[in-house]
A and B are shown apart, each in its own frame.
Chain A
Amino acid sequence: MPLIHENKFVPDHWQRLADDQPVPADGKIIIPLQRLDEARQVRGSALGSIGIHLANIARIDDVIPLLPNLPLISIAFPAFSDGRGFSLAKRLRRLGFKGTLRAHGPLIADQYPHALACGFDEIDISESHALRHREAHWRAATGSISLGYQRGYVRSGTILDRRAASRRA
């Protein structure tokens, strides 16, 4: 699966377990929340190499206790037009999640700045999707609008803050 991270297609070091695939004894894996108990039986209680995949309608209360120790959360985008994942990411970051936040699904390159601003680190798309949404498109998307208006999102500066800075200057 191509992974877009810091404007580049990079190798994915995480393995997304299929539903019928048993939990391996080691290695970085991404599993749905409901398989966490099973994974802990195999691996013990540490979460160091376990990533959790969430539906975009996941109850946030279910993951709050895990947030300090989870290295990765993957959020499902069933369709690029379904923007729920953006709000879920925003809420997870607000709750203090410091690990890697990954969007999984057919996002289009134009949404990359949105995803980054809402707190995602990387986008996980399919091979066939990557044929049309090529690395150059993702890179170009991050530079297309240099400054946005909304404060409180993850990005280097906003129009409002720049205006405030020029007032102080």
Chain B
Amino acid sequence: MYHYDEFDRSFVQERVAEFRAQVARRLDGSLTEDEFKPLRLMNGLYLQLHAYMLRIAIPYGTLSSIQMRQLAMIGDRWDKGYGHFTTRQNIQFNWPKLADVPDMLQALADVDMHAIQTSGNCIRNVTADHFAGVAADEVEDPRPTAELMRQWSSLHPEFSFLPRKFKIAITGAQHDRAAIKAHDIGIRILRHPQSGETGYEISVGGGLGRTPMIGKTIRDFLPKADLLPYLEALMRVYNAEGRRDNKYKARVKILVHEIGIEPMRAAVEAEFTATNRDAVAPDSAEIGRIEQAFMPPAYERLPDESAFLARHSAANAEFAQWVAVNTFGHKQPGYSAVTVSLKPIGGAPGDATSDQMRALADAADAFSFSELRVTHHQNIVLPNVKKDDLFELWQRLAAHELATANIGLISDIIACPGMDYCSLATARSIPIAQAIAQRFASPERQRTIGELGIKISGCINACGHHHVGNIGILGLEKSGAESYQITLGGDATETAAIGERLGPGVGADDIPDTLERIVDIYLAERSPDERFIDTYRRVGIDRFRGAIHALDS
């Protein structure tokens, strides 16, 4: 993985000192709260329902065991002994005090981490496929590009006061695990059909929130060397033309929707043509330097099948199930990528205690070249585990309640913090996720149902990505009571789609029953090997309407 050089390090150290001075100027009145707000947001500091919340960047979800241990330390020292991994591959601490934040940022800088641009109307922390560099289906590793964009977007002189937040995601695989079409800019690495050269397909104008939109392709093929000049051109068009009269219409998706993708493309191409590319792009040696940091680790040459794994799988059904559900095909024979679930039945999705973080760091040191990933599904990946080691890893994880076998299944639920923490929320999310997971707790039943993603948001800002959940649940407030709107058919992958509303809202207590009825209809209708989303697409929403028993009927 990428390690800071002296320049990255002094940049982050200076940023900490700058923020310390900004906090001091806020406290002595030189900065008003209105002036301080965007500055603190650009350093990841929110004012939440009960306290400040600090959101720490985990660039493209990649971190080392050393960094994970530091997060555990921060959780112990300045929070309540846990942290919350988010849908943007970051981690949030929900209970810091303002006066402690500069010290927390310093503790992060000590391990080459920061909270830069995890919030605010700027280019946010770049996200990527959590199996980057190890996925068997990958065209090319997206991490070098993600790192290049991390650097380029940090304290950008022109694009730090945009109309609204701006999110970029990248994948290097055909199968999209990074939800790129739900981002302001989505980037897919692909091979040029004629030349065979790798480059980027760029989409723009995706986003969720109150007006969900799927991103549209603006460039079919961008040569890799042109990436930063092209992004600069696109950002300039957005910065100049994006609406600023209404924050709910300020994302680039609205600009693209209002002017149309063709005029948008023309405006960006005109700006790109006028840009002096050589003055903007990094030289090829710099690209090479970053790529070098992502060379594969020293894999052993192994047969792809592990007799040891086979023996333990045969003897231990629970282990075999975990292997079947939580491991992913690796490009290196004899290795697996393991997803560690942060969704124990009845837990808060994405929460990990400091002890669990240390256990994960230890497991990464023992079994995965000291590297970990955070997924946008709020789980943790150990990307490079020998199949021979899976049994021992599983035992260790189980000792820390980290061996839940539910990746991609109905209890692997994405949920925003909701009314339990967030000042914007109109309803609870976490308790809803817990109730659903408890209802479908049986591992056999989950396996029978198969791949089914539930995503829950506690308000229309859609941090839980409910629009692109196979089953989406949106919590609203309706005459003093929580009312949950259910959508079906959402999809965050390369076949991206926004879910359709099933019917009127249902009460919190009725959600498990309603979901049960939806699942029953699916099981009754499905053809062999069909996932929920496949059956849904084939039979349509009307077949599911009977599952709703309306709130006020």
Contact = CB atoms under 8 A, between A and B. Distances in A.
Interface of A: 80-84, 86-88, 90-91, 94, 108, 110-111, 113-114, 117-118, 132-134, 137, 140, 144-153, 155, 159-160, 162-164, 167
B5 A132 contact: no
B244 A82 contact: yes
A108 B31 contact: yes
B156 A159 contact: no
A114 B157 contact: yes
B15 A145 contact: yes
Contact of B289 (A90, A147, A163): A163
A86 B240 CA distance: 9
Nearest to A110: B39
Nearest to B22: A110
Contact of A162 (B7, B155, B157, B244): B7
Contacts of A133: 30
Interface string B150-167: 011011111111100000
- SS of A interface (majority): helix
A158 B158 CA distance: 15
A83 B160 contact: yes
A90 to B, nearest CB: 6
A150 B240 contact: no
A164 B282 CA distance: 9
Contact of B11 (A81, A91, A134, A145): A145
14 contacts: A82-B161, A83-B158, A86-B161, A87-B239, A144-B17, A148-B154, A148-B155, A150-B280, A152-B275, A152-B280, A159-B11, A159-B151, A162-B7, A164-B283
Given A151-B282, A163-B289, A134 B159 contact: no
B10 interface: yes
B157 A160 contact: no
Contact of A86 (B22, B121, B228, B239): B239
A137 B158 contact: no
Contacts of A132: 29-32
Contacts of B279: 151-152
B276 interface: yes
Nearest to B5: A163
Nearest to A111: B161
Contact of A159 (B7, B228, B281, B283): B7
Given A132-B30, A132-B31, A147-B7, A160 B286 contact: yes
A137 B11 CA distance: 19
Interface of B: 5, 7-8, 10-11, 14-15, 17-18, 21-22, 25, 29-32, 35, 38-39, 121, 151-152, 154-162, 228, 232, 236, 239-240, 244, 274-276, 279-283, 285-286, 289
Contacts of B239: 83-84, 86-87
Contacts of B282: 151, 160
Contacts of A153: 157-158
B240 A88 contact: yes
Contacts of B25: 137
Given A114-B160, A152-B276, A163-B286, A147 B31 contact: no
Contacts of A145: 11, 14-15, 18, 155
Q: Which 8 A-B pairs have the closest CB atoms?
A: A83-B161, A117-B157, A152-B280, A159-B7, A152-B279, A144-B18, A114-B157, A149-B151
A152 B155 CA distance: 14
A146 B14 contact: yes
B342 to A, nearest CB: 33
B285 A167 contact: yes
A134 B29 CA distance: 12
A86 B157 contact: yes
Nearest to A82: B244
Contact of B157 (A82, A108, A113): A113
Contacts of B280: 150-152
Nearest to A90: B158
A115 B194 CA distance: 43
A117 B64 CA distance: 34
A18 B393 CA distance: 74
A145 to B, nearest CB: 5
Nearest to A115: B157
Given A160-B282, A163-B286, A80 B35 contact: yes
Nearest to B236: A87
Nearest to B158: A86
A87 B237 CA distance: 9
Contacts of B30: 132-134, 137
A44 B163 CA distance: 41
A2 to B, nearest CB: 15
Given A118-B158, A151-B281, 8 more contacts: A83-B160, A83-B239, A108-B31, A145-B18, A148-B155, A150-B158, A155-B157, A160-B282
Nearest to B238: A87
Contacts of B244: 82, 84
Contacts of A113: 157
A87 B22 CA distance: 25
A83 B159 contact: yes
Nearest to A78: B244
B374 to A, nearest CB: 23
A87 B289 contact: no
A155 B148 CA distance: 20
Contacts of B158: 83, 86-87, 90, 114, 117-118, 150, 153
A161 B31 CA distance: 34
Contacts of B236: 87, 90-91
Given A149-B152, A152-B280, A84 B285 contact: no
Contacts of A82: 161, 244
Nearest to A60: B240
Contacts of A118: 157-158
B303 to A, nearest CB: 41
Given A80-B35, A82-B161, A114-B160, A140 B21 contact: yes
B105 to A, nearest CB: 14
